[in-house]
Amino acid sequence: MGKSGCSFILLELLLLQCLISLGQGYDFFYFVQQWPGSYCDTKRSCCYPTAGKPAANFTIHGLWPNYNNATYPSNCNKNSPYDGTKVNDNQSTTLIKMDRTIVVVSDLFSRLEVSWATLACPTNNGTKFWSHEWEKHGTCSESVLDQHSYFEATLNIKDKVNLLHILEAAGIRPDDNFYKVEDIKEAIKAGTGYDAAVECNSDPSRNGQLFQVYLCVDASAKDLIECPVLPKRKCKSSIQFPIF
Ligand code: 5GP
Ligand code: 5GP
């Protein structure tokens, strides 16, 4: 066999090894956002986080590894508990020198507080929500994204997909009015280029309302993709978009 044939086989072996070690155990992610107005406008109500009432914008629920066959892994590594010091690694921490004191600004935490705000009761700073999401979902993509990368990648996707802006551009606003689910889906398709799934919940008067939006993201958590399988979520044909 010639030299070039040999290198070709070596390259193939290397590629194969890469694929095996990546062995990520999931096919893609659901990127799930929630409308805070709908989370709060329920019988159970909600609690604002310690940092105060979140802005009237969609916030992150999670980035969930999923299989193409609509099943999903969860709680993949008991030995990898949520660790705030890992989430906020030092390289991404900004040190600001003020007079003679150094103020440590943790860039990821401030982004999490804004974009991944917790609305569950009792009021807390978000750690409970983030640790639940890391332990249930994040540990299942740990071979690709460590804790810091998992949260950073999710925040970056959120920054790329301005759902509220997309809906408002189509005249769909959080103004307590009712909108057709089909129009909402069409607007998201026009704004992102991809089909989304819409999930509804009910307010205390049993009106259906826009609760969560599911988009799909490739296994490296970089780009939106067309969903290999859309989650089945039911909504009435016309739903409220509550003020927050
Ligand atoms: P629910 O039963 O309220 O739809 O979902 C409860 C939780 O199960 C979600 O918050 C999420 O953690 C998980 N879950 C539900 N459906 C899916 C799914 O299709 N894919 C993944 N990866 N997780 C899901
Ligand atoms: P999942 O449905 O993702 O399995 O579970 C979500 C968990 O995070 C629940 O225990 C829920 O109480 C908690 N949680 C804390 N804050 C929030 C929030 O703002 N939205 C949602 N959906 N769950 C939250």
For residue 57, being part of any structural domain is answered with yes
Q: Give first-to-last CA distance, the chain, whole Å.
A: 70
Q: Where do we find the tokens 């280029």?
A: 193
Tell me the ligand closest to 129's alpha carbon.
Answer: 2
Q: Which of 19-23, 37-41, 60-64, 116-120 has the weakest average pLDDT?
A: 19-23
By the 8 A CB rule, do 241 and 207 touch? no
Residues noted as catalytic: 61, 133, 137
For residue 210, being part of any structural domain is answered with yes
For residue 83, being part of any structural domain is answered with no
Cβ 72 under 6 angstroms from ligand 1: yes
Note the pLDDT tens digit of each residue in 104-133.
556 799 999 999 999 999 999 999 999 999
For residue 3, being part of any structural domain is answered with no
The residue to mutate among 42, 66, 67, 72, having the most atoms of ligand 1 within 8 angstroms of its beta carbon, is 72
Closest residue by Cα to residue 30 from 140, 173, 148: 140
Band (88; pLDDT cuts 50, 70, 90): confident
128 C-alpha to ligand 2 centroid (Å):
9
For residue 186, being part of any structural domain is answered with yes
- The domain tally of the chain equals 1
6 C-alpha to ligand 2 centroid (Å):
53
Evaluate if residue 18 carries a pLDDT over 60. Answer: no
The predicted pLDDT at position 48 comes to 98
By the 8 A CB rule, do 66 and 136 touch? no
118 C-alpha to ligand 2 centroid (Å):
8
Atom number, ligand 2, closest to the C-alpha of residue 129: 15
3-class SS letters over 91-110: HHEEEEEECCEEEEEEHHHH
User: 236 Cβ partners below 8 Å, 6+ apart?
Assistant: 181, 200, 208
The residue to mutate among 64, 76, 201, 217, having the most atoms of ligand 1 within 8 angstroms of its beta carbon, is 64
Note the pLDDT tens digit of each residue in 144-190.
999 999 999 999 999 999 999 999 999 999 999 999 999 999 999 99
Kindly give the residue spans of alpha helices, DSSP state H, lying in 173-241.
181-192
For residue 236, being part of any structural domain is answered with yes
Q: What is the average pLDDT value for the chain, to the nearest integer? A: 90
Nearest CA to ligand 2 atom 11: 120
pTM for this predicted structure: 0.88
Looking at the chain, the number of H-run helices and the number of E-run strands are: 8, 9
Tell me the ligand closest to 112's alpha carbon.
Answer: 2
- Domain span holding position 129: 24-77+98-241
Read off the CATH number of the domain in which 102 is found. 3.90.730.10
For residue 132, being part of any structural domain is answered with yes
Q: Which of 75-79, 83-87, 185-189, 239-243 has the weakest average pLDDT?
A: 83-87
Band (7; pLDDT cuts 50, 70, 90): low
For residue 7, being part of any structural domain is answered with no
- E strand residue ranges, the chain: 28-34, 59-66, 93-98, 101-106, 178-180, 197-202, 208-217, 224-225, 238-240
Share of the chain above pLDDT 70, in %: 83
Task: Please indicate whether residue 89 or residue 87 has the higher confidence score (pLDDT).
Answer: 87
